[in-house]
Amino acid sequence: MAWKPVGVVVAAALIGAPALAQQKVEIGHLADYSGPTSDVGKPYGEGVADALAYIDKHGGAGGKLPMHVDTRDYGYKVPQAISAYKEWTSHNVAAIFGWGTADTEALIAFVTKDQMPYISGSYAGALTDPVGHADKTAAPYNFFYGPSYSDANRGLIQWAADDWKKKGKPGAPKYVHMGANHPYPNAPKAAGEAYAKELGFEVLPAIQFPLAPGDFTAQCLTLKQSGANYAYLGNTAGSNVSILKACQTAGVDVQFLGNVWGMDENAAKAAGTAANGVAFPLRTSAVWGDKVPGMATVTEVAKMSDPSGTNYRPIHYLAGLCTAFYMSEAIGMAAQKGKVDGPAIAQAFYVKKDWVPKGLEGVCRPSTWTAQDHRPTTEVEVYRVAVGGPTDAPVGELMQKGVIKLEKAAVINLPRKPEWLGW
Amino acid sequence: MASLRPSGDFRTSYAADTAIFDTRASRWACALAVALLCLGPLVLDKYWLSLLIQIGYLGIAALGLNILVGFTGQISIGHAAFFGFGAFASAWVANHTPVPVFFAIPLAGVATTAVGMLFGVPAARLKGLYLAIATLAAQYILQDFFSRADWFTGGVAGTPAAPFRVFGFALDGDQRYFYVVLAYMVVCYLLVANLMRTRDGRALVAVRDHYLSAEMMGINLTKYRTLSFGISSFFAGIGGALYAHYLGFVSVEGFDILVSIQFLGMIIIGGLGSIMGTLMGAVFMTVLPEAMQGATQLVSGSALDRALDLKQNVSYLREMAIGTVIILFLIFEPDGLAHRWRQIKAYWKLYPFSY
Amino acid sequence: MDLTLLGQLLLNGVIVGTLYGVVAMCFVVIYKASQVVNFAQGEFLLIGAWVCWWLLTAYQLPFVWGFLVTLAFMLAFGVLIQVVVLRPLIGEPVIAVIMVTIGLSIVFQALMKWMFGVFAQPFPPIFARESVTIGALEVKTAYVMSVVVSVVVMGGFAYFFKATRLGLAMRATAFDQQVAQSLGVSIRQVFALSWAISAMVSGIAGVVTGMVSGVSSALSLVGIKVFPAVILGGLDSVVGGVVGGVIVGVLENLAHYVDSQFLQWGNMFEIAPFYVLIAILMIKPYGLFGTRDIERV
């Protein structure tokens, strides 16, 4: 099967290569374009792929090392992720861009054993501990860009506490976690509820609603009856849209707090006015079209797959872009020191403090990885969705006309507590 | 030629009648295949070894399902839940008790048998679609249990599974674990082949073929139906345990309804009621996505890609191709790969008189 | 005991349950006629929803026209699927046909993502009022429409099966294929018709679900709700499927009520129908309203 002709040739060439500058570095990229998480996986995957193509066009990792990226759509199926990983590790791949909980968790033991840097789209707290304190699993080769799910949840709760105080309401506010009983929504549940209790919230029993969209009137009526003030929606965008719409019909007056993958421009369009006012965390400091210095680079990157430059790029695209730039700069730094292998790349991640990739100032948040702490940032940018009217038109048009607006509400600075590491 | 069977049934002893391998040639072919596979880790790279390991543990689990569906005539859409139960059980036993992984795997199989028989009890009374949907309910109930039972499964964070060790020598890594899986495969397949020639195996087939007559002949339907669920869960549990110790980490995510449907696909495409068919079906269902992925990589960037302007949409084409291959295969060979293989063998044996 | 909440939840259960019942009806039509478990039922909903959405947004058709064109398309689509994919499999083991429907569901999922993208899309606003108040409960107008349409469809089915020749032919085929054939009923026509009807009614259900939750590829998961509904109502009557659907809807909401007020387990909404299902099957192996198969040697 001639399915990896270039890869085989390059891998053979890489054996015993003295001058790395002339060889290509192999990179694996798992994406979900056709599976259940494709609504957020597609923009993120495109962001990573376009960024890597752009970097390669301008010399490669660190400006000197050309890259060969193998983008694999694994459809969120674990067996395909495993076989892709095995294929890559038998062909000297230097680093892998992972995607969601399914593949990251399935490969976590392999990645640690093979010392393969794995930067994922999964921001679970369990991936933040490289050393493995107490009974938590050590994950020294798992990286991600952005606040962890738990920290994002904590940040939103902090914002909620400030919001309650600003509104001048008496008494303790009520917080409820809503989500499916599934690894992704449950990832930050314990952390969020603990922090809410710490800040003086009355934590109500969690309300469950499944990941598949459907009728959630029952949950909304329960929510209304419980008198909650702040509700964290832990599910992915599809079912969040359903529950927002159901709760709008039921007339529930609650401030919804979204999660990183649970609210974006497309979800706001699908939910329409029901999404108005939802607060959610952003991994980047800007959205597409903002006037920041780094947006020029972002526009250039977007041109790699859309030469006209007119496609609107959602927030996940920018997050994927930043992720790719961080990894490629790390590979570049490792190459400069002479070796491009797992431990070298991991060490390269620890070099810079408050690191922003070159050319992306104002877009990517300053991130710091250390050998004891794989949380790149404990600052959470809280944005709010503002939907002004019917959302029939294409997303780009809606954003341009200002029908849907993503407005920065606050930047919450969480303390980098060591006891919050790993969960 | 002594290796060809004469047409007609000329067996002269009971031992010959109940032999697992019909001819000497097939026995030697099997032994040769196993020997060649033993040499596999020396020549194959991780990718192929990993595929073979996947075929291994999925094949063992599919064998269980074939006993239930192919040999006993029941139907189960909840097999992935038992597969997952075996995985979690083995990881739990290895982590929380002093039992080494070597024994944890069979113990997990036994534990899954118990759970399987629990769900098999309603099966005694249900038939057809009702039974299928009861197993669907079992799938969702067990999945829910996995998500909630923190003490057992680590809840939604998953649980790490210890590597396989024999006398302190760790057998992890694709090359070494391959032998573990190969050993289990040989043992399990021989076990099932043996089961089918015992009294109980014949009783299961009788239950499938005409259960009223079987009942009249004195076969206890409830006992055999429940037993069938139990045996099928045993193999699902073993397969799951092997999966757990291969990955080193067990998570709830990997045991949803789509995996159940994949198992069903393996035995249907492989051939119901055929042991070799199970293996062929497992190979088919594991290799099909990989082959399509390979075809995708050939197509992307080529002239066809530019002509149709596919770019990323090639992955949709791949998924559609997988579905279409399954559909076309079943339209042209609804009895499965085993049947087609028997037809091919018969054609060559009787050539040129194969009419 | 919050009785107003309970009342609201029960009412919501009945309304949403009618939608499940409609989907269950489609499933039973196919099962009765050809003993095929259609795993692609969810995808029929999805295709109906996407086609209607596309007609409304790309061509700016008024809703009624878009709806009717969608129905016509689904009718033709059902016939096409039956003729191209399932007709070669008449007479083959049923389990092979089931696997083919699974293959179909894989193909359609990918096709829908390819044609319409991966993002959820909202339906354009169709009704002047988004929701109406029934008692103390705010109900989406789309659901009210679905109840009306379901009743019309049920009435249509009842008339079709009792009073028309074609309906009678279908009932005969479901009862005993060979006898029906020997009396001159064209089995191929009956199968094609059953798939066409099932696809069309699934399209209706898909459009309603799309109106409420937006159209996305996860819509096909509503198809899973079919199974408990079909069992609860029994496989023998199409109307039984509707009853089963209503029971599932009420059960979900009731379970959620009990859970949120007393138990605090959190998962009853999703899992209660399955537990009840197994309990009912233990007592009545042919479902609540199914007739017992009389088996002869």
pLDDT in tens, A123-142: 988 888 888 776 667 889 99
Measured in degrees and rounded to the nearest 5, phi and psi for residue A175 equal: -120, 140
Q: Is the Cβ pair B129, C92 closer than 8 Å?
A: no
Measured in degrees and rounded to the nearest 5, phi and psi for residue C276 equal: -60, -40
In this complex, which of B45, B248, B316 lies closest to A90 when CB atoms are compared?
B45
Q: Is the Cβ pair C285, B130 closer than 8 Å?
A: yes
Q: Is the Cβ pair B319, A75 closer than 8 Å?
A: yes
**pLDDT at position C136 over 70:** yes
A341 touching chain B per CB within 8 A? no
Nearest residue to A329 (alpha-carbon basis) of A29, A83, A58, A35: A58
In this complex, which of A3, A101, A183 lies closest to B297 when CB atoms are compared?
A3
Pick the more confident residue, C151 or A323.
A323
**pLDDT at position B174 over 90:** no
How far is A410 from A419, CA to CA, in rounded Å? 25
How far is A288 from A46, CA to CA, in rounded Å? 14
Considering the domain boundaries, does residue A228 fall inside one? yes
A254 touching chain C per CB within 8 A? no
| pLDDT, average across residues B210-224 | 91
- Tell me the pLDDT of chain A averaged across its residues: 87
All partners of chain A with 3 or more CB pairs under 8 angstroms: B, C
SS3 A325: helix
How far is B320 from B328, CA to CA, in rounded Å? 12
**pLDDT at position A5 over 60:** no
Domain boundary among A329, A349, A369: A349
Pick the more confident residue, B309 or A380.
A380
Per-residue pLDDT band at A395 (split at 50, 70, 90):
confident
Q: Which of A44-58, A217-231, B149-163, C166-180 is least confident?
A: B149-163
Pick the more confident residue, B299 or B337.
B337
| pLDDT, average across residues B75-85 | 92
Q: Which amino acid appears at position A316 of this protein?
A: H
**pLDDT at position C131 over 90:** no
Per-residue pLDDT band at B354 (split at 50, 70, 90):
low
B258 touching chain C per CB within 8 A? no
Q: Is the Cβ pair A271, C122 closer than 8 Å?
A: yes
Domain boundary among A328, A349, A370: A349
Looking at the fold, whether A274 and A408 belong to one and the same domain comes out as: yes
Q: Is the Cβ pair C286, B130 closer than 8 Å?
A: yes
- Per-residue pLDDT at C196: 93
Nearest residue to A382 (alpha-carbon basis) of A360, A402, A365: A365
B316 contact residues in A (CB cutoff 8 A): 33-34
In chain C, DSSP finds a helix count (H) and a strand count (E) of 11, 2
Q: How far is CA B247 from the centre of its chain?
A: 18
Domain boundary among A349, A365, A395: A349
Query: Percentage of residues in chain C with pLDDT exceeding 70?
Result: 98
Looking at the fold, whether A192 and A157 belong to one and the same domain comes out as: yes
pLDDT (tens digit per residue) in C251-296: 888 888 888 877 777 777 888 888 888 888 888 877 777 777 666 6
The residues spanned by each domain of chain B are: 22-256
Looking at the fold, whether A32 and A162 belong to one and the same domain comes out as: no
| pLDDT, average across residues A146-151 | 91
- Per-residue pLDDT at B1: 43
Q: Is the Cβ pair C12, A222 closer than 8 Å?
A: no
Only one residue has tokens 């083919």, namely: C100
- Per-residue pLDDT at B32: 93
In this complex, which of C138, C217, C256 lies closest to A218 when CB atoms are compared?
C256
Question: Which of the listed ranges B93-97, B135-139, B229-233, B307-311 does the model predict with the highest average pLDDT?
Answer: B229-233
Q: Retrieve residue B56's tokens.
A: 């291994």
The answer to whether C27 and C230 are in contact (CB under 8 A) is yes
- Per-residue pLDDT at B8: 66
Considering the domain boundaries, does residue A153 fall inside one? yes
How far is B144 from B140, CA to CA, in rounded Å? 6
| pLDDT, average across residues C130-156 | 83
- Per-residue pLDDT at B73: 87
Per-residue pLDDT band at A19 (split at 50, 70, 90):
very low
Looking at the fold, whether A269 and A385 belong to one and the same domain comes out as: yes
**pLDDT at position B3 over 60:** no
How far is C191 from C166, CA to CA, in rounded Å? 11
Scanning every residue of chain A, which has its alpha carbon at the shortest distance from the alpha carbon of C2?
A225
Considering the domain boundaries, does residue A362 fall inside one? no
* Burial category of B179 from C-beta neighbours within 10 Å (exposed 0-12, middle 13-18, buried 19 and up): middle
| pLDDT, average across residues A379-384 | 92
C122 touching chain A per CB within 8 A? yes
Nearest residue to C121 (alpha-carbon basis) of C65, C56, C208, C53: C53
Pick the more confident residue, B275 or B148.
B275
pTM of the entire structure?
Answer: 0.89
B319 touching chain C per CB within 8 A? yes
Looking at the fold, whether A281 and A405 belong to one and the same domain comes out as: yes
In chain A, DSSP finds a helix count (H) and a strand count (E) of 14, 13
* C-alpha distances in Å from residue C39, one per residue of A78, B259, B321, C235: 22, 14, 18, 16
Q: Which of A272-286, A290-304, B78-92, C83-97 is least confident?
A: C83-97
Looking at the fold, whether A202 and A69 belong to one and the same domain comes out as: no
B157 contact residues in A (CB cutoff 8 A): 124, 126, 183, 186-187
- Per-residue pLDDT at B5: 58
| pLDDT, average across residues C115-132 | 84
- State the count of interchain CB pairs (< 8 A) between B and C: 128
Looking at the fold, whether A187 and A331 belong to one and the same domain comes out as: no
**pLDDT at position A181 over 70:** yes
- Per-residue pLDDT at A13: 44
Considering the domain boundaries, does residue A370 fall inside one? no
pLDDT (tens digit per residue) in B105-141: 999 999 999 999 988 887 777 877 788 888 988 898 8
Q: Is A176 left (phi over 0), alpha (psi -120 to 50) or beta?
A: beta
Q: Strand locations in B209-311, DSSP E?
A: 249-250
Looking at the fold, whether A307 and A278 belong to one and the same domain comes out as: no
How far is C268 from C290, CA to CA, in rounded Å? 26
Pick the more confident residue, A348 or A9.
A348
pLDDT (tens digit per residue) in A302-343: 998 888 888 899 999 999 999 999 999 999 999 888 888 889
A105 contact residues in B (CB cutoff 8 A): 158, 249, 251, 253
Positive or negative: CA dihedral A209, A213, A217, A221: positive
Residue A221, domain CATH: 3.40.50.2300
How far is A283 from A318, CA to CA, in rounded Å? 9
How far is C205 from C22, CA to CA, in rounded Å? 7
Looking at the fold, whether A254 and A396 belong to one and the same domain comes out as: yes
Per-residue pLDDT band at B96 (split at 50, 70, 90):
confident
What length does chain B have? 355
A72 touching chain B per CB within 8 A? yes
How far is A191 from A256, CA to CA, in rounded Å? 18
Looking at the fold, whether A162 and A308 belong to one and the same domain comes out as: no
B280 touching chain C per CB within 8 A? no
- Tell me the pLDDT of chain B averaged across its residues: 87
**pLDDT at position B17 over 80:** no
- Per-residue pLDDT at C1: 66
In this complex, which of C212, C217, C260 lies closest to A222 when CB atoms are compared?
C260
CA distance A368 to chain C (A): 33
Per-residue pLDDT band at A11 (split at 50, 70, 90):
very low
Looking at the fold, whether A53 and A130 belong to one and the same domain comes out as: yes
In this complex, which of C5, C221, C267 lies closest to A208 when CB atoms are compared?
C267
Q: Which amino acid appears at position A293 of this protein?
A: P
Query: Percentage of residues in chain A with pLDDT exceeding 70?
Result: 94
Residue A200 lies in domain: 149-285+379-420
- Per-residue pLDDT at B231: 94
pLDDT (tens digit per residue) in C234-252: 777 777 888 888 998 998 8
Query: Percentage of residues in chain C with pLDDT exceeding 90?
Result: 22
In this complex, which of A241, A249, A271 lies closest to C140 when CB atoms are compared?
A249
- Count CB atoms within 10 A of the CB of residue A417: 10
How far is A314 from A40, CA to CA, in rounded Å? 9
SS3 B250: strand
CA distance C144 to chain B (A): 30
- Per-residue pLDDT at B88: 93
- Per-residue pLDDT at A12: 44
Nearest residue to A295 (alpha-carbon basis) of A281, A306, A305, A284: A284
* Number of domains composing chain A: 2
